[in-house]
């Protein structure tokens, strides 16, 4: 397994700590996202609430919770994809010198980055679309008082306080993405410093462990 | 390594496409339900509220004070939602229905929390202006009661401000 090991050398295995932390962060993020959203929108004093994340999305309309099947499917797909990415990152990080490690790294490290970027882009597009189509100002971060279109309110003027904010799992996702990217860069360092196999008469790890009598 | 690479690509596709296909199959008889499920339709139509449809507060009674300068208007309101409502303020101008003369301004006595499905009395206090008292003496001499209406109604409930241009008829005692 380690043909370059010689008598007296210690068995040392490189671990990609950035990748390991990134993989663990992804797995934690998946569980946390079921309970705390990445982005939360509140209309009025909690009259309407939207808990949004790439992994779980639910809406509360005056005390009645529901989700949308298409969103649920996309969320479930994201959960599976992120879980696979997290596991791939963990396996890769423990065995970064294996022949398949580069495949695992390539598969796993982009997952949180893509999730974070896509999530922000979709939020921006959705809030802008609502503003253009309905004339309703929905803040991405912070509070705004918006007037509902009178076509929706039968001539009555209805002003609503809308508050939206990113929640801490979003920042955890950003940290996970950063760790995975750092893991990708660190992988190059690991592959650069790995000692080459000796050209002739290698001493196997087994021989080191059980020297000839 | 090629096998692992292909496996990971397939895994990517399956994890993203699989759930969507599953939902499409589950809702194949009602594809609209993928975006607007029956539960949401119920919510939007008001059928899942605890007490039926949303209804305007019902005028119950008006009680004048001993000096005849103010009147307390009582309305009954049922919260149809499965959610507690907090009525922070209600304000309106009171006008004489017959002459359109402004009699005074009414506002909610104190903020009221209305539990889900509960019916509560909301009290508004209206202060008559001196001109209103003069108007009653001049135009409604001898009348015990007066048909009036609430106009410019502004309601602030659970962070939502509703400004209505509708008129709300009431009947108040005058002395």
Judged by CB atoms closer than 8 Å, whether chains meet at A45 and B15 is answered as no
pLDDT number for residue B44: 66
Contacts of B22 in chain A (CB under 8 A): 73
pLDDT number for residue A118: 94
Task: Find the mean pLDDT for residues A175-197.
Answer: 80
Q: How many residues does chain A have?
A: 213
Task: Find the mean pLDDT for residues A38-55.
Answer: 92
Q: Which residue has the higher pLDDT, B51 or B62?
A: B62
pLDDT number for residue A207: 46
pLDDT number for residue A1: 47
Residue to mutate among A48, A64, A95, A147, with most B CBs inside 10 A, is A64
pLDDT number for residue A4: 53
Q: Which residue has the higher pLDDT, A175 or A195?
A: A175
Residue B61 has which token pair?
A: 């009674």
Residue to mutate among B35, B153, B160, with most A CBs inside 10 A, is B160
Report the alpha-carbon distance of residue A37 to residue A55 in Å, rounded: 9
Mean pLDDT of chain A: 83
Neighbour count for residue B60 (Cβ, 10 Å): 12
Identify the structural domains of chain B with CATH numbers, from first to last.
2-45 (no CATH), 58-173 (2.60.40.10)
Residue to mutate among A50, A59, A65, A70, with most B CBs inside 10 A, is A70
Judged by CB atoms closer than 8 Å, whether chains meet at A158 and B19 is answered as no
How many angstroms away from the CA of A75 is the closest CA of chain B?
9
pLDDT number for residue A205: 44
pLDDT band at A121 (very low <50, low <70, confident <90, very high): very high
pLDDT number for residue A80: 93
Task: Find the mean pLDDT for residues B56-78.
Answer: 84
pLDDT number for residue B116: 84
Give the lowest-confidence range in A59-73, A117-131, A199-213, B105-119: A199-213
pLDDT number for residue A210: 45
Task: Find the mean pLDDT for residues A132-153.
Answer: 83
Judged by CB atoms closer than 8 Å, whether chains meet at B158 and A45 is answered as yes
Report the alpha-carbon distance of residue B90 to residue B82 in Å, rounded: 22
Judged by CB atoms closer than 8 Å, whether chains meet at B20 and A104 is answered as no
> Is A212 a residue whose pLDDT tops 50?
no
Evaluate whether A53 touches A38 at the Cβ level (below 8 Å): yes
pLDDT band at A192 (very low <50, low <70, confident <90, very high): low
Smallest CA–CA distance from B9 into chain A, residue:
A107
ipTM of the shown complex: 0.72
Fold of A21-192: Butyryl-CoA Dehydrogenase, subunit A; domain 3 (1.20.140)
> Is A75 a residue whose pLDDT tops 90?
yes
Give the lowest-confidence range in A35-39, A156-160, B12-16, B111-115: A156-160
Instruction: Give how far Cα A82 sits from Cα of A7, A16, A173, A185, B126, Å.
Output: 43, 19, 11, 20, 61
Nearest in space to B173 (alpha carbons), one of B56, B100, B73, B57: B73
Report the alpha-carbon distance of residue B132 to residue B101 in Å, rounded: 8
Contacts of A62 in chain B (CB under 8 A): 49, 81-83
pLDDT number for residue A204: 45
> Is A10 a residue whose pLDDT tops 60?
no
pLDDT number for residue A79: 95
pLDDT band at A206 (very low <50, low <70, confident <90, very high): very low
Global pTM?
0.77
Instruction: Give how far Cα B70 sits from Cα of A144, B100, B102, B104, B172, Å.
Output: 37, 19, 14, 9, 11
A69: nearest CB among B33, B157, B166: B33
How many angstroms away from the CA of A35 is the closest CA of chain B?
21
Task: Find the mean pLDDT for residues A44-62.
Answer: 89
pLDDT number for residue B49: 56
How many angstroms away from the CA of B66 is the closest CA of chain A?
37
pLDDT number for residue B25: 93
Chain B residue set in contact with A, beta carbons under 8 Å: 1, 4-5, 8, 11-12, 15-20, 22-23, 26-27, 33-37, 39-40, 43, 48-49, 81-83, 86, 116, 157-166
pLDDT number for residue B54: 65
What percentage of chain A carries pLDDT values higher than 90? Answer: 48
pLDDT band at B64 (very low <50, low <70, confident <90, very high): confident
């Amino acid at each position: 397994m380690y043909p370059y090991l010689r008598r007296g050398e210690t068995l040392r295995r490189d671990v990609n700590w950035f990748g390991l932390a990134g993989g663990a962060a992804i797995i934690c993020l998946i569980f946390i996202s079921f309970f705390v959203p990445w982005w939360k929108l509140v209309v009025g004093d909690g009259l309407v609430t939207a808990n949004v994340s790439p992994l779980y999305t639910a809406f509360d309309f005056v005390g009645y919770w529901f989700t949308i099947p298409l969103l649920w499917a996309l969320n479930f797909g994201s959960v599976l994809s992120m879980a696979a990415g997290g596991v791939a990152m963990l396996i890769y990080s423990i065995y970064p010198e294996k022949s398949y490690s580069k495949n695992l790294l390539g598969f796993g490290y982009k997952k949180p980055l893509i999730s974070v970027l896509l999530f922000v882009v979709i939020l921006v597009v959705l809030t802008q679309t609502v503003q253009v189509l309905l004339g309703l100002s929905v803040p991405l971060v912070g509070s705004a008082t918006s007037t509902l279109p009178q076509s929706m309110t039968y001539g009555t003027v209805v002003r609503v306080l809308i508050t939206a904010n990113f929640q801490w799992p979003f920042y955890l996702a950003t940290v996970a993405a950063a760790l995975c990217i750092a893991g990708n860069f660190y992988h190059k360092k690991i592959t650069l410093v790995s000692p080459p196999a000796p050209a002739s008469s290698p001493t196997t790890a087994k021989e080191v462990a059980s020297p000839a009598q | 390594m090629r096998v692992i690479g292909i496996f990971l690509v397939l895994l990517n596709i399956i994890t993203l496409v699989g759930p969507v296909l599953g939902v499409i199959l589950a809702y194949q008889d009602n594809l609209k339900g993928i975006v607007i499920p029956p539960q949401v339709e119920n919510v939007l139509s008001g059928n899942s509220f605890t007490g039926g449809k949303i209804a305007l507060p019902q005028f119950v009674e008006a009680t004048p004070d001993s000096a005849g300068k103010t009147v307390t208007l009582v309305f009954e309101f049922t919260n149809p939602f499965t959610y507690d409502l907090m009525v922070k303020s209600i304000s309106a101008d009171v006008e004489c229905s017959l002459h359109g003369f402004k009699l005074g301004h009414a506002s909610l006595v104190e903020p009221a929390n209305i539990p889900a499905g509960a019916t509560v009395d909301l009290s508004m206090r209206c202060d008559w202006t001196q001109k209103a008292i003069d108007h009653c003496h001049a135009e409604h001499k001898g009348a015990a009661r007066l048909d009036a209406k609430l106009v410019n109604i502004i309601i602030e409930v659970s962070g939502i401000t509703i400004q209505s241009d509708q008129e709300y008829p009431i009947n108040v005692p005058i002395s």
